[in-house]
Every structure is written in structure tokens, then in C-alpha cells.
Amino acid sequence: MRPSALAVVAALAVAAALSVPLHGGPVSADSFYSLQTTTLQGQPARLADYAGKVTLVVNVASQCGFTPQYAGLQKLHDELKDRGFSVLGFPSNDFGAQEPGTAEEIATFCKKNYGVTFPMFAKVVTKKGEGQSPIYAFLGASGELPSWNFGKYLVARDGKVVAFFPSKVAPDSKELRDAIEKALTR
């Protein structure tokens, strides 16, 4: 290996070991942004890419009575993305088997029906127990786990969960919007 290539590999190894995103500051081990996952397209994804942003993490499903919330989530994402906000969608088939589709079917459904452009990740298990996603194990440590599809976690810029909103809280609800605004001004 050439010296410059060796230096790059060494820098990447150090950054990974310290959980330091290459584009920003450090991410602590007790931060949502220290986790890794997989995109809906099957590519590795580092949540460190969202460090410094406020995120709304949502367990989504395509065949649920709450599925129309996709439209409001996309609207929130579009309206606030330039202020350091992102919606992150995690499909789950945990409740009523309402997300049975493949990754490709989910992506097609979301784009065709709701114009979804916010980041979507691979299908996960949200429920506590064997097979639970590390994403939802971390989020559940806040004291709340979704009891149905479209549960929403508000995650602050530092990767700490600041609020949980159950399925019935719509993306345009005053309580959710107020919590997002408060998190964005911190």
C-alpha cells in the first residue's frame, strides 16, 4: 500500500474507533447517531451522518390506518430540512403484519403514493425481545416503545431522545410541531 493510501486507511480506522463522523464533530457512544443500520436499498448507513440534526424517527407501514401520515411526514421533512431536520423512516411488520412488502415494494409504494424522499431504512423489529433492532433497543431505553405503526421519536442534535409521540399524534399536530421547534432552537 502506498503511504498516502495507508494514511487514509489509518484515519478511517481511527474515526470509526472514536465514532467520529468524517464531516463533523464527535458522536458519543450513548447517542442515537453512534448507531449503524442499512438503507432500504440494502446499503450500510451510519446514523452519524445525521449528527447535529434534529430527527424524527418513525416506524412506518404501508397497509395501516395511519399510513396517510406519510404525506405529513414528507411535508415536515421538506419544510424543515434546511433548518437541520430530517424524518427517518424504519419500516416494520410488527403490528398487524401491515408491512409485508419487500424493500423494493416499500420504496415504490412510498414514492408513488406519497412522494417520499426522506431517508428510509431496512425493515426492522421494534418489539422488545429476540431480533429487536439495535435502533429500537436504543430508542426503547427512553422508556417508550411503539405499540403500533407510526410511533415517533424526536431525537435532538446530540442524539438523545427528547420525546416520544404515539401513532395517533399526526405530523401536523401542535404538540409535535412545538417539540420540533424547541429542539431546532437548541
Q: Is residue 16 part of a domain?
A: no
Q: Is residue 5 part of a domain?
A: no
Active site residue 149: no
The span from the CA of 130 to the CA of 97, in Å, is: 18
Report the percent of the chain where pLDDT is more than 70: 84
Average pLDDT, the chain: 88
Q: Is 101 left (phi over 0), alpha (psi -120 to 50) or beta?
A: beta
Q: Is residue 143 part of a domain?
A: yes
Instruction: Kindly state the cell numbers that stand for 150.
Output: 407510526
- pLDDT value of position 26: 52
Q: Is residue 125 part of a domain?
A: yes
Q: Is residue 34 part of a domain?
A: yes
Which of 28-32, 94-98, 177-181 is predicted least confidently? 28-32
Q: Which positions ≥6 away from 127 have C-beta within 8 Å?
A: 94, 136, 145
**Does residue 17 have a pLDDT over 80?**
no
* CATH number of the domain residue 142 falls in: 3.40.30.10
Global confidence as pTM? 0.85
Domain that holds residue 108: 24-184
Q: Is residue 13 part of a domain?
A: no
Q: What is the pLDDT of residues 62-93, one digit of tens each?
A: 999 999 999 999 999 999 999 999 999 999 99
DSSP designation for 24: S
Q: What is the pLDDT of residues 97-141, one digit of tens each?
A: 999 999 999 999 999 999 999 999 999 999 999 999 999 999 999
E strand or H helix at 163: strand 161-165
Q: Is residue 90 part of a domain?
A: yes
Q: Is residue 9 part of a domain?
A: no
Rg (CA), the chain: 17
- pLDDT value of position 87: 98
Per the residue annotation, which of 59, 93, 113, 149 is the catalytic one? 113
Number of domains making up the chain: 1
